[in-house]
Amino acid sequence: MLTYLFLIHLGSTCFMVGLIWLIQIVHYPLFARVGNDQFVRYEREHSRLITYIVAPLMLTELGTGVGVGFLLIQSHPIAIIGNAILLAAIWISTFAIHVPLHKKLESGFDPALHERLVTTNWIRTFSWSVRGILLICLAPFIL
């Protein structure tokens, strides 16, 4: 059971690592080029559509992360605690910073809000990237 749980956790994390880098380097910077007349619609559609991809993956990652954490805390405490801290940073920044910024941007493009969105998204980009590396390093001990 641990093997499958870990593989699902690793897979969902690696998918999110790729997705967050795409968002950070390509998608969010391009928000500034949408144009004011189309931006509100674009932002609302972005928020609606990205949720279909991100929500199931983040929930899968969270659930399997809790399961893996309980099963491995005794044998790999530093890796599990590090993983948990980074996962918490992702969830906290998502709901304390990024969701509210997207809600504000749904009223219209604001260069300062956009800059804050791009800049603060490095929290998630860094956290997911480190988690991906951590889990890949942990994999030989689990699989």
Q: How confident is the model at residue 143 (pLDDT cuts 50, 70, 90)?
A: confident
Q: What beta strand segments (E) does 16-139 contain?
A: none
What's the length of the chain? 143
Closest CA to 98 of 75, 121, 79, 77: 121
With a cut of 90, say whether residue 141 has pLDDT above it: yes
**Domain span at residue 49?**
2-142
Mapped onto helix, strand or coil, the DSSP state of residue 110 is coil
Taking residues 80-104, what's their average pLDDT?
97
With a cut of 90, say whether residue 83 has pLDDT above it: yes
Contact between 117 and 98 (Cβ < 8 Å): yes
Q: How confident is the model at residue 69 (pLDDT cuts 50, 70, 90)?
A: very high
Reported pTM: 0.95
pLDDT 10s digits, 2-15: 999 999 999 999 99
What is the number of domains present in the chain? 1
CA distance 118 to 29: 7
Residue 138 to residues 101, 131, 134, Cα–Cα distance (Å): 34, 10, 6
